Amino acid sequence: MKTPLSFPSRAMVTWLCCLAAVGAGTAFSQEWTRFRGPNGHGIGDAKGMPAEFGTQDYEWIVELPGTGHSSPVLWGEKLFLTVNAKEGAERKVMCLDSTNGSTLWEWSQPFTEHAKNKLNDFASSTPVVDEKAIYLTWTSGEETQALALDHSGKELWRTSWKGFTSDHGSAASPILSEGVLIIHTDAKDERHSFIYGLNPADGSEVWSRERITPPGNDKHLTAYSTPVEVKSGDRNTVALLSTNHGWLGLDPKNGEIAWSYPEVYGFRSVGSILEFDGNLFATLGSGGGGKQSAALHPNGTDKPDLLYSLGKTDLLSYVPTPLFHDGLLFLCGDGGVIACRDAKTGEKFYEERAAKGQFFSSPVLVDGKIYFGSRDGLMLVIAATREFKVLAENRLGSGLNATPAIANGRMFIRTDTHLMSLKGK
Q: What are residue 180's DSSP bridge partners?
A: 177
Judged by DSSP in three states, 246 sits in strand
pLDDT greater at residue 56 or residue 241? 56
For 178-234, write each residue's pLDDT tens digit: 999 999 887 666 666 788 999 999 999 999 988 766 666 566 677 778 999 999 999
Q: What is the CATH number that goes with domain 32-423?
A: 2.130.10.10
By CB atoms closer than 10 A (0-12, 13-18, 19+), residue 260 is: middle
Kindly give, in sequence order, each residue whose CB lies less than 8 Å from that of residue 3, ignoring residues fewer than 6 positions away: none
Mean pLDDT of the chain: 86
For 122-169, write each residue's pLDDT tens digit: 677 899 999 999 999 887 667 888 999 999 999 999 998 876 666 655
For CA atoms 325, 331, 335, 337, the dihedral sign is negative
CA pair distance 229, 12, nearest whole angstrom: 37
| Percent of the chain at pLDDT exceeding 70 | 84
CA pair distance 192, 196, nearest whole angstrom: 12
Say whether pLDDT at 27 is over 50.
no
- Give the per-residue pLDDT at 273: 94
- Give the per-residue pLDDT at 20: 39
pLDDT greater at residue 299 or residue 17? 299
For 345-377, write each residue's pLDDT tens digit: 999 999 999 999 999 999 999 999 999 999 999
Contact between 280 and 257 under an 8 Å Cβ cutoff? The reply is no
For 78-137, write each residue's pLDDT tens digit: 999 998 887 778 888 999 999 999 999 999 988 666 555 556 566 778 999 999 999 998
- Give the per-residue pLDDT at 154: 98
Q: Average pLDDT, stretch 388-409?
A: 96
pLDDT greater at residue 14 or residue 420? 420
- Give the per-residue pLDDT at 359: 95
